[in-house]
Chains A and B, each alone.
Chain A
Amino acid sequence: MSNVIKIKRGLDIKLVGVPEKELKEITSLKSYGIKPTDFPGITPKVVSKVDTEVKAGTTLFFDKYNPDVVFTSPVSGKVTAINRGERRRILEFVIEPDGKNESEVFKKDKPENLNREEIKESILKSGCWPFIRQRPFNIIPKPEITPRDIFITSFNSAPLTADLNFIVKNDFSAFQTGVDALTKLTDGKVYLGIKAGEISNQFSNTANAEKYEFSGPHPAGNVSIQINKIKPVNKGEVVWTLNAADVIIIGKLFETGTYNPMRIIALAGSEVKHPQYYKTLLGTKLSDLTNEQIKNKDIKKRFISGNVLSGEKISENDYIGFYDTTVSIIPEGDNPEFFGWAKPGFGKFSLSRAFFSWLTPNKERVLDANLHGGERPFIVTGELDKVFPMDIFPLQLIKSVLIKDLDLMEELGIYEVAEEDFALCEVINTSKIEIQKIIREGFDFAIKELG
């Protein structure tokens, strides 16, 4: 393969608790949950009320403003609860499985025999559509807009994330089928970002996609960075992005004609006894994985659905997020440290060399969720650029969002980024500013203004 792109700016944070490549299947779970809160910008309208019998692929709810975009049950059974939060906002649909493993029936055929409308319809109706997200704004795309191109990333580069090459091991044909289906949905190309320098990388065998290899530190695996290097998004353009793990589910839809949202999830982090992979379904409850897997119960833990850079803090009894193939468990770290800012800091993690931990850069660390300081206005400059490998000024873009200047946001490249691209910026930021939240608010603001 000739297309190798080297990412220079970035950072690999080495943490304790990388998952072993062992797979354990967990079955006969008591409940599954789908959380509308996983989809920013969606206003859920309930279809399957409490006590409705559902099959895998039966619509639970749809988006009020895009009624074709439906969200479906991962399993056959009964809706036992729709939990609501403040102002009756729907937090989750809970489905109790009946063990029958029934599924709604969709078109079972090779994608090359189907036309664009048929493929779109299957993906929409089965509930696979939400796996697709778009740039700009990292939201679920409108079905009526045909994307310029489709970008798939086949590796996660954030710390302690699932190895997609391991996930795809027994499902490569489904992945290929998924890619074939996606090629029908764009007039442009399907691009596949592959990790460079991997021996026996199955994704290298993918057909019908333009392949680019990426080397270098995180965020090399982030699809925005790959788009920026391959073919950047301009004003007025829409591209779709997918993660390879989700492409497998789309592929299975066409191979089997059923909705089968199988998930292989990496349970990782320093607080896990034996970090490894679990085979289950979308919407699994975290406690079903963590069963007897948590170290020393005395230390307060933080359970993160997703990776440590941009995941969501959940409780052990919550359901794992729709898009997440990683669950990370780290110490909460909510104990004060006397004169902590003045200590030499041999074990502390820092990109700067303000602590003596620069002596041991390759050590795998146990990091907790402590902020290590209070929030301040931006002081240091140039630090964000070190971990932001796009031709965009991160600090200035963030500030343009803070002052809500839509023209400036547009000029500085808001259409090309997602929240996760700023995750490292947030990690290393001296002023402890919630950058990913600011970016998300910027998206929401822009969507509202642009209508």
Chain B
Amino acid sequence: MKSLERYFEKIKPNFEKGGKHEKWGSVFESFETFLFVSSKTAPKRGAHIRDAIDSKRLMSIVVMALVPSMLFGMWNVGYQHFLSLGTDAGFWQEFIHGFIKVLPIILVSYIAGLGTEFVFVYIKKKEIEEGFLVSGLLIPLIVPVDIPLWMVAVATILAVILGKEVFGGTGMNIFNPALLARAFLFFGYAKKMSGDKVWISGLEKGQNIIDGFSGATPLSQFAGATKEQIADGGFKVFNGLHHNIVSAYDMFMGWIPGSIGETSTLMILIGAAILIYTGVASWKIMLSGVLGASAIGLLLNVLPDGLNPYFELPFYYHLVSGGLAFGIVFMATDPVTSAQTEKGKWIYGFSIGILIIIIRVFNPGYPEGTMLAILFMNAFAPLIDHYIIRANVKKRLKRLKVKA
């Protein structure tokens, strides 16, 4: 390690002001600080001791929290694939199949995204911002497995440029870049992002698929379900080997079709525990999101039945299905695009929870509402903060008036 350090010290002058490769200075610096925590010390005046946390550490904790969902997603891709073929391939073969399917998506996302970031590092002459370390893993986890790789690349590049860099980079953006990438795909290439065929690898091609296998996600099943099916507490989803019925338990564990990383509520909860324990993400947003979704779920239950069989769905089914858990834990809590005041976080999270269920249940066009709900509330987060801050300002003005 010492020799690497010495090498960097040796080539550094080339990249400094007046050096041969001066233009590449910011790119060099980005690499250097990736390898070494910089030797920069506190300025002359100010705080001389600093917390060990920095944005690299922050982002790497989020990446760590995503790993359980990612690994489970890889296995589930294989599991669903062999289920559709009607064979039991065993854990390792299933995992390897999924690994081979998912890894290219992750690589494409990182290469496209980081490539774009480095272009901006070069243009802006600023050290790279680490935000994409998280976005780069989030994007693969919220797309269907059979998505063409070029679409991932296009969506990622668009998300980095239009979602982040045009606003000034990490910390300045209004919308969550990863969700924006998904929104591009969803509205641009709807065929590849919705329906019953896209969620399981190989299903679109349709070779060797066993008869009657549907591949639909639980959410699209709910939307078309009859009252009787709801009352049964489960749905015939596919002629699987282990499970004929998708139960809340199945959805909690995650062996259901869906976007790569979103299916297992259990794995997402492990990630949530890491985020909450380290203090990296706001538990207030997560809790209020779940409360909001539960509240509206329960409210729908007490509405007169007959309006829509979907109303009868037990509220906890909403919490474990679709992208709700993944969205609330990993997307809604993005500190840059969520509400910034502590009170505001409660309102923001709660609203997301409510909106997700409303879009799911009342909008037949979209089986899932998580993406739209979070993007919608991203746009409203500054407004929420505005009112919280105005209340504080008013208090201060009132103090002045009381005195006068």
Chain A residues with CB under 8 Å of chain B are 13, 15, 159, 232, 234-236, 302, 304, 308-313, 328, 330, 332-342, 345, 348-355, 357, 367-374, 376-382, 385, 391-393, 395-396, 411-413, 423-424, 426-432, 434-437
Contact between B55 and A430, CB atoms less than 8 A apart: yes
| Contact between chains at A354 and B39 (CB < 8 Å) | no
A232-B399, A393-B341 known; A371-B42 Cβ under 8 A? yes
* Inter-chain contact A304/B48, CB cutoff 8 Å: yes
- The answer to whether A332 and B38 touch (CB under 8 A), given A308-B48, A374-B127, A379-B55, is no
* A396 and B389 within 8 A (CB): yes
Across the interface, do B57 and A341 meet the contact criterion of CB distance under 8 Å?
yes
B25-44 contacts to A, CB under 8 A, are 33, 35-44
Residue pair A349, B51 in contact (C-beta under 8 Å): yes
Q: B36 touching A429 by the CB < 8 A rule?
A: no
26 pairs of residues in contact across A and B, judged by CB atoms under 8 Å = A232-B399, A234-B400, A309-B47, A310-B46, A330-B48, A334-B40, A336-B36, A341-B37, A341-B54, A350-B53, A354-B52, A354-B57, A355-B57, A357-B52, A369-B49, A370-B39, A371-B38, A374-B33, A379-B55, A379-B336, A381-B335, A393-B389, A396-B341, A428-B51, A428-B53, A434-B43
Please determine whether A351 and B51 come into contact, CB atoms closer than 8 angstroms: yes
Given contacts A312-B44, A338-B35, A354-B58, contact A379 B131 (CB under 8 A): yes
Q: B301: which A residues are within 8 A, CB to CB?
A: none
In the bound assembly, the distance between CA atoms of A345 and B278 in angstroms comes to: 13
Q: Sorted from nearest, which 5 A-B pairs have the closest CB atoms?
A: A373-B54, A340-B37, A377-B171, A348-B52, A336-B36
Chain A residues near B33: list those with CB within 8 A. Answer: 373-374
Closest to A335 in B: B39
A residues less than 8 Å from B127 (CB atoms)? 374
B245 at the interface (CB under 8 A from A): no
Chain B hits for A310, CB < 8 A: 45-47
Known: A338-B35, A353-B278, A354-B278. A373 touches B55 (CB 8 A): yes
Assuming the contacts A371-B40, A382-B342, asked whether A353 and B277 have C-beta atoms less than 8 A apart, the reply is yes
Q: How would residues 356 to 378 of chain B score, 1 for a CB under 8 Å from any chain A CB and 0 otherwise? A: 00000000000000000000000
Partner of A336 from B5, B52, B341, B395 at Cβ < 8 Å: B5
Give the docked Cα–Cα distance between A321 and B392 (Å): 37
Q: Please tell me if the beta carbons of A372 and B399 are within 8 angstroms of each other in the complex.
A: no
Chain A, Cβ-Cβ closest to B40: A371
Q: How far is the CA of A369 from the CA of B1 in the complex (A)?
A: 23
Question: Which B residues are CB-close (under 8 A) to A370?
Answer: 37, 39-42, 50
Residue B302 is within 8 A (CB to CB) of chain A in the complex: no
Q: Which residue of A lies closest to B8 (CB)?
A: A336
**Structural contact, B340 and A381, CB atoms closer than 8 A:** yes
Say how far A269's CB is from chain B's closest CB, in angstroms: 10
Kindly list chain A residues whose C-beta atoms are within 8 Å of the C-beta of B58.
354, 379-380, 430
Across-interface contacts of B278 in A (CB, < 8 A): 352-354
Q: Could you mark each residue 170-190 of chain B with 1 if its beta carbon is under 8 Å from any beta carbon of chain A, else 0?
A: 111000000000000000000
In the complex formed, the residue of B with least CB distance to A348 is B52
Q: Smallest distance from the beta carbon of B2 to chain A beta carbons, Å? A: 9
Instruction: For the A-B complex with A382-B340, A426-B47 known, give 8 more contacts whose Cβ atoms are closer than 8 Å.
Output: A232-B399, A337-B36, A354-B52, A377-B172, A381-B282, A385-B342, A432-B54, A437-B45
Q: Which residues B126-150 have CB closer than 8 A to chain A?
A: 127, 129-131
Q: Which of A328, A348, A370, A428 has the most CB of B within 10 A?
A: A370
B389 CB contacts on chain A under 8 angstroms? 393, 396, 412
Complex: how many Å from CA A255 to CA B118? 68
The answer on a CB contact under 8 Å between B48 and A309 is yes
Bound state CA distance, A297 and B44, in angstroms? Answer: 21
For the complex formed, measure the closest distance between the CB of A306 and the CB atoms of chain B, giving whole angstroms: 9
Residues in B with CB closer than 8 Å to A15 are: 49
Nearest-neighbour CB distance to chain B for A92, whole angstroms, equals 15
User: In the bound complex, what is the Cα–Cα distance between A332 and B48 (angstroms)?
Assistant: 9
Asked if B21 CB lies within 8 Å of chain A CBs, one says: no
Rounded to whole Å, the gap between the CB of B28 and the closest CB of chain A is: 13
Cβ–Cβ contact A234 & B171, under 8 A: no
Question: What is the CA–CA distance of A192 and B395 in the complex, to the nearest angstrom?
Answer: 26
Q: How far is the CB of B270 from chain A (nearest CB, A)?
A: 16
Alpha-carbon separation in the docked complex, A381 to B338 (Å)? 9
How big is chain B's contact interface, by range? 35 or more
A430 and B277 CA atoms in complex are apart in Å by 17
Q: Which of B52, B342, B389 has the most CB of A within 10 A?
A: B52
- The answer to whether A378 and B277 touch (CB under 8 A), given A312-B44, A339-B35, A350-B53, is no
Within 8 Å by CB of B37, from A232, A328, A349, A372, lies A372
Given the known interface contacts A328-B48, A437-B46, the answer about A376 and B53 at a Cβ–Cβ threshold of 8 Å is no
Q: Is B166 an interface residue (CB 8 A)?
A: no
Question: CB distance B56 to A373 under 8 Å?
Answer: yes
Closest A residue, CB atoms, query B169:
A377
Query: Which residue of chain B lies nearest to A395 when distances are taken between CB atoms in the complex?
Result: B340
A308 CA to B46 CA, complexed, in Å: 8
Identity of the chain B residue whose Cβ is nearest the Cβ of A431 in the assembled complex: B55
B345 is an interface residue with CB less than 8 A from chain A: yes
Q: Within the complex, what minimum Cβ distance (angstroms) separates A90 from chain B?
A: 18
- Smallest CB separation, B286 vs chain A (Å): 13
Say if the beta carbon of B212 comes within 8 Å of chain A.
no
In the complex where A310-B46, A336-B37, A381-B335 touch, is A350 in contact with B171 (Cβ < 8 A)? no
B209 interfacial contact with A, CB 8 Å = no
B39 touches A430 (CB 8 A): no
User: Whose C-beta in chain A lies nearest to the C-beta of B4?
Assistant: A338
B60 interfacial contact with A, CB 8 Å: yes
Q: Tell me, yes or no, whether B61 is within 8 Å of chain A by CB.
A: yes
Residue of A with least CB distance to B46: A436
Residue of A nearest to B1 (CB): A338
Query: B35, B42, B61, B131: which has the most chain A beta carbons within 10 Å?
Result: B42
A337 to B38 CA separation, bound complex (whole angstroms): 7
* A413, B338: Cα distance in complex, Å: 24
Which of A308, A345, A354, A376 has a CB less than 8 Å from the CB of B280? A354
B393 at the interface (CB under 8 A from A): yes
Chain B: minimal CB distance from A266 (Å) = 16
Contacts of A385 in B (CB 8 A): 342
B38 engages A373 (CB within 8 Å):
yes
Nearest CB on A from B272, distance (A): 14
Once the chains are docked, how many angstroms separate the CA of A13 from the CA of B35? 29
User: Nearest A residue to B131 by beta-carbon distance?
Assistant: A379
Picked from A342, A392, A427, the residue with its CB within 8 Å of the CB of B47 is A427
Q: Which residue of A lies closest to B168 (CB)?
A: A377
Contact of A235 among B42, B336, B400 (CB under 8 A): B400
Smallest CB separation, B284 vs chain A (Å): 8
Contacting residues, chain A, for B39 (C-beta < 8 A): 334-336, 370
* Bound CA span A322–B299, Å: 66
B residues less than 8 Å from A336 (CB atoms): 5, 36-39
Q: Is the CB of A234 within 8 A of B403?
A: yes
Q: A391 and B395 in contact (CB under 8 A), knowing A309-B47, A436-B47? A: yes
Q: Which of A353, A371, A377 contacts B279 (CB 8 A)?
A: A353
Contacts of B38 in A (CB 8 A): 336, 371, 373-374
Q: How far is the CB of A301 from chain B (nearest CB, A)?
A: 12
Instruction: Look across to chain A and name the residue whose beta carbon is closest to the beta carbon of B172.
Output: A377
Asked if residues A379 and B335 are in contact (CB atoms below 8 Å), the reply is yes
Decide yes or no whether B205 CB sits under 8 A from chain A.
Answer: no
* Closest partner residue, chain A, to B394 (CB atom): A411
Known: A312-B44, A395-B340. A427 touches B37 (CB 8 A): no
